Every structure is written in structure tokens, then in C-alpha cells.
């Protein structure tokens, strides 16, 4: 099947490449000429483990190509995915749909008859109806379909998530779209017996927000329990295990930390609140989740200050890990940013290390010395703060680290080290959800 994918970001590029790996002919299109030029030269513009090789293999096989020319991309395509960004609208909190609507307007006169336009971007309920109207303003009804197929991949493990999903959700309003989009997934996923949930377009749109809001709530729940553990001398990791082994609960998303961030949870929870507000429905648990998470992110700076006796003015703090989670270069809404900015306001000097996020961090952070080696970053620091639990940060030689720092203070916001390990190396430790030695 020929497929066009509009938007070559974390979702569009991974989806397009995986569809090609499943044997389809895929053209990925983007307005960003830099991205397309890089891809044409074989350079993948994002960090996603395994993606370089998969792109290279599928380009070499002649199944995957890149272009800025939308007309060429959609010509002959049976399915056209819209995978453009839906960032939060500045000052409003709802999703900015201008990129989705722009893509719909641009593709409307160019698609073949009977093409199925599939919105893969995360969009509020009812967006598919608007996309249908936009396309319907230049094409006869019945000559095209609009479907919803939200994406659930996680950055860092995106290829596996796409190729071996827990489920696929497809929202359709007509039989042709149901047949075409179901077949696209069913053929490669049948052997894995992946459930395919086919539903109405509006339900499909809402499933994505419901899933993300639920996961954000789960994280916030364990974070609050972590605070309680700190007060009552309990250990949140063991608490999470004891809870999570109950199959009704599950162990994933029970890692206490500095608050959720990233390009999806903050914006999607806010957008769901907006939708609920618009329809006069109270979604109080999600509201509380958003409020608690924002407060938590700010409180993490106080935790660092507490570990240093209440003052950071003039002190040097080494931050290890900047991206919102390991194995991605994505800095969007990373908890490291408010933490660093708050510490800076209190007079701290910040040095920071990240294995792949430095380039993106440079565009967001100011007055931060970005260093490409974790030990060099920690040299002479008054405190080391772990914000992202990259593998190389987890496996640091803590005894060596201790000989480099000025003050042996470790604030481990990800519980990256076993209880006692950093203490044994001579650090005073403040971790999450367990009693502190700092």
C-alpha cells in the first residue's frame, strides 16, 4: 500500500519508517527543509534508539523516501497520515490545532479519490469532524474518508512500541476507512494477536487523552505517596512493588520522581481539562493531578536547597540528566528546566550534563554550563542532582564522583542508586520517598 505521512517528527518519522518496514511504500513529508535535507543524506534528525538503522534499511530497499513536496507525497497514496505537532496554545492550555488544519487544507485538493486521511496527531474530540469539513469544502463527499488513529509510542522505545503495541485504536465513520486502516495494521500484527479496537472517530480521539491522563494520575499518586514515605520512614520503591504486583494495579508508572514532564502528559492533561470545561463536565481527578504535578516540579528545587542547608546562593550545582526521560533528546516540558531556573533565581550556578540532550537544552536554558562528561560536570560542585536516570548516570562510579565534588551532597530525584550505595561512597543523600541522610 502507498502511504504518505505528513510531519516527520518523533511520531511521523517512527510511524512512517515502521510502516515501510512492514512492506508498504512510504513517503514522509515535512515543511522543515533542514529535516528533509538531513534525512535525504541519511541523517536522522532526532535521537531514537534503532531508528537510524531502520531508516537506512528501508531507504535502501526503496520503500521509504522523504520530500517537502506534498503533491508528490500524496499522489497515489491510499492512506495519508497527519502526524504534525499539536502543542499547547500559549496562555490557554488547549491544543493548538493550526498545524493539523493547515495540513488538511493543503492536502485536500491533492489527494487521490478514495484516499483515507488518518489523524495520528493527538487531537481533541471533534477534530476529525473539522478535518472532514475542511477537506469536504473542496472535494465531493464520499470521495474521501477521515479516520482517527492515535499513537501510543513512547520516545526511547518508540520502534518496539510501534511494532509490538499493546493495542491499536482506530476511529472510523465509514466502512471503506475501517477496511483500509484495519488492514494496514492487521496484516503485520495478526501473528502477535494485537487487539485492534475499532470505534467511532470521536471515541478514538478521546481514548488517547484518557490514557495519558490516567498514566499522569498514576505517576502523581505514587509521587504523593513518596512524600508520605519520607515523613513516616518508609520506602516508596518497595511500597510501589508491593502495590504494583497486584495485577489490577500493575507495576509500571509507579516510579516516584520529580513530577511528570515531556511533550505529551503536561499538554494532554491540560487539553483534556479544556475539553471538559468546554462541555461543562468536572474531571476533578485530572485537575488535581495537573495542580499537584506543577507544585511538585517547583518543590524539587526546595528539596535541593534543603539538602544544602537551605541556601544555594553562590553555590555550584551539578545537574546530571536534562531530557524529560532517558533515551530521548526531547527537552519539551522537561522537569529539569523549572528546577534549574528556580535554583538560578536563588543564586545557584548550574553546570549540567546529558548524554544526548545538550543541543536541545542549549536552546532552552540560559547561563548553564553544559558539559559533555558527568565527572567533569560534578568537579568542584556543592551538590550533584540526578534529574534523568540515563544508564550511564546510573552506572557512575560513586566513589570516584565523591573525590571530585566540593561537598558530598547527592540529591537523587530518580532513585537512580540503590539505597545505601551513595552513602557508602561517602555522600549525604536526599532521595525520593525514603528517609534522607542529607
Catalytic residues, by residue number, are 264
Q: Applying CB under 6 A, which of residues 58, 149, 263, 342 lies at the interface with ligand NAD?
A: 263
Residue partners of 366: CB distance under 8 A and separation at least 6: none
| 347 backbone φψ class: left, alpha, beta (φ>0; ψ -120 to 50) | left
Closer residue to ligand NAD, CB minimum distance, 11 or 207: 11
Residue partners of 59: CB distance under 8 A and separation at least 6: 42, 65
The residues in 155-214 that bind ligand NAD, with binding defined as CB under 6 A, are 155
> Would you count residue 6 as binding ligand NAD (CB under 6 A)?
yes
In terms of Cα–Cα distance, which of 135, 116, 268 is closest to 205?
268
Closer residue to ligand NAD, CB minimum distance, 126 or 419: 126
Is residue 154 annotated as involved in ligand binding? Answer: yes
The count of residues interacting with ligand NAD (CB under 6 A) is 27
> Would you count residue 94 as binding ligand NAD (CB under 6 A)?
no
Annotate 80-98 with DSSP letters as a single string. Answer: EEE----PBPTTT-SB--H
> Would you count residue 134 as binding ligand NAD (CB under 6 A)?
no
* Contact stretch for ligand NAD (CB under 6 A) within 3-11, 72-80, 189-197, 223-231: 3-11
298 contacts 338 by C-beta, under 8 angstroms? yes
* Contact stretch for ligand NAD (CB under 6 A) within 81-89, 139-147, 253-261, 376-384: 81-89
Q: What are phi and psi of 368, to 5 degrees?
A: -115, 130
- Coil vs helix vs strand at 123: coil
- Coil vs helix vs strand at 289: helix
DSSP 8-state secondary structure symbol assigned to residue 112: P
> Would you count residue 84 as binding ligand NAD (CB under 6 A)?
yes
Is residue 297 annotated as involved in ligand binding? Answer: no
> Would you count residue 7 as binding ligand NAD (CB under 6 A)?
yes
Q: Applying CB under 6 A, which of residues 9, 128, 266, 408 lies at the interface with ligand NAD?
A: 9
In terms of Cα–Cα distance, which of 169, 97, 176, 120 is closest to 144?
176
| Cell of residue 34, nine digits | 533542514
> Would you count residue 350 as binding ligand NAD (CB under 6 A)?
no
CA 322 to CA 335: how far, in whole Å? 8
Radius of gyration of the chain (CA): 23
In terms of Cα–Cα distance, which of 376, 370, 335 is closest to 356?
370
Which residue of this chain has its Cβ atom nearest to ligand NAD in the complex? 9
Closer residue to ligand NAD, CB minimum distance, 7 or 165: 7
417 contacts 385 by C-beta, under 8 angstroms? no
CA 391 to CA 384: how far, in whole Å? 16
Is residue 436 annotated as involved in ligand binding? Answer: no
> Would you count residue 153 as binding ligand NAD (CB under 6 A)?
yes
> Would you count residue 220 as binding ligand NAD (CB under 6 A)?
no
Q: Applying CB under 6 A, which of residues 3, 4, 5, 8 lies at the interface with ligand NAD?
A: 8
Closer residue to ligand NAD, CB minimum distance, 86 or 415: 86
Is residue 114 annotated as involved in ligand binding? Answer: no
Is residue 8 annotated as involved in ligand binding? Answer: no
Residues that bind ligand NAD (CB under 6 A): 6-12, 29-32, 35, 83-86, 99, 102-103, 106, 121-122, 151, 153, 155, 263-264
Give the residue numbers of the binding site. 30, 35, 86, 122, 152-155, 208, 253-257, 261, 267, 325, 332
| Binding site per annotation, positions for substrate | 152-155, 208, 253-257, 261, 325
Amino acid at each position: 500500500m502507498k502511504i504518505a505521512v505528513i510531519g516527520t517528527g518523533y511520531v511521523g518519522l517512527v510511524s512512517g519508517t515502521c510502516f515501510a518496514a512492514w512492506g508498504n511504500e512510504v513517503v514522509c513529508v515535512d515543511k522543515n527543509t533542514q529535516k528533509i535535507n538531513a534525512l535525504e543524506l541519511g541523517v536522522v534528525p532526532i535521537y531514537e534508539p534503532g531508528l537510524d538503522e531502520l531508516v537506512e534499511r528501508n531507504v535502501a530497499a526503496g520503500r521509504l523516501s522523504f520530500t517537502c513536496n506534498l503533491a508528490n507525497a500524496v499522489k497515489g497514496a491510499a492512506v495519508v497520515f497527519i502526524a504534525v505537532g499539536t502543542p499547547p496554545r500559549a496562555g490557554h492550555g488547549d491544543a493548538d490545532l493550526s498545524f493539523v488544519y493547515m495540513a488538511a487544507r493543503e492536502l485536500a485538493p491533492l489527494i487521490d479519490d478514495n484516499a483515507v486521511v488518518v489523524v495520528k496527531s493527538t487531537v481533541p474530540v471533534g477534530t476529525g469532524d473539522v478535518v472532514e469539513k475542511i477537506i469536504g469544502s473542496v472535494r465531493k463527499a464520499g470521495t474521501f474518508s477521515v479516520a482517527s488513529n492515535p499513537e501510543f509510542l513512547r520516545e526511547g522505545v518508540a520502534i518496539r512500541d510501534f511494532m509490538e503495541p499493546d493495542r491499536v485504536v482506530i476511529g472510523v465513520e465509514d466502512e471503506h476507512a475501517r477496511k483500509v486502516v484495519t488492514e494496514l495494521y492487521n496484516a503485520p500484527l495478526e501473528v502477535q494477536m494485537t487487539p485492534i479496537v475499532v470505534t467511532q472517530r470521536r471515541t478514538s480521539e478521546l481514548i488517547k487523552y484518557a490514557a495519558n491522563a490516567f498514566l499522569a494520575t498514576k505517576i502523581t499518586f505514587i509521587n504523593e505517596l513518596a512524600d508520605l514515605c519520607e515523613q513516616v520512614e518508609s520506602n516508596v520503591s518497595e511500597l510501589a512493588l508491593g502495590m504494583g504486583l497486584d495485577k489490577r494495579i500493575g507495576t509500571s508508572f509507579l516510579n516516584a520522581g520529580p513530577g511528570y514532564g515531556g511533550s505529551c502528559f503536561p499538554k494532554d492533561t491540560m487539553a483534556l481539562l479544556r475539553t471538559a470545561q468546554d462541555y461543562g463536565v468536572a474531571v476533578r481527578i485530572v485537575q488535581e493531578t495537573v495542580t499537584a504535578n506543577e507544585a511538585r516540579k517547583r518543590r524539587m528545587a526546595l528539596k535541593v536547597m534543603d539538602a544544602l542547608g537551605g541556601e544555594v546562593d553562590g553555590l555550584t550545582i551539578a545537574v546530571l540528566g536534562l531530557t524529560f526521560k532517558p533515551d530521548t533528546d526531547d527537552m519539551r516540558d522537561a522537569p529539569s528546566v523549572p528546577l534549574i531556573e528556580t535554583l538560578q533565581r536563588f543564586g545557584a550556578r548550574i553546570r549540567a550534563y546529558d548524554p544526548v540532550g545538550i543541543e536541545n537544552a542549549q536552546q532552552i536554558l540560559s547561563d548553564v554550563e553544559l558539559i559533555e562528561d558527568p565527572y567533569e560536570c560534578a568537579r568542584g560542585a556543592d551538590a550533584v542532582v540526578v534529574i534523568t536516570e540515563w544508564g550511564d548516570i546510573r552506572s557512575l562510579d560513586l566513589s570516584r564522583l565523591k573525590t571530585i565534588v566540593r561537598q558530598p551532597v547527592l540529591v537523587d530525584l530518580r532513585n537512580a542508586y540503590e539505597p545505601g550505595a551513595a552513602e557508602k561512597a561517602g555522600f549525604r543523600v536526599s532521595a525520593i520517598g525514603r528517609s534522607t541522610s542529607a
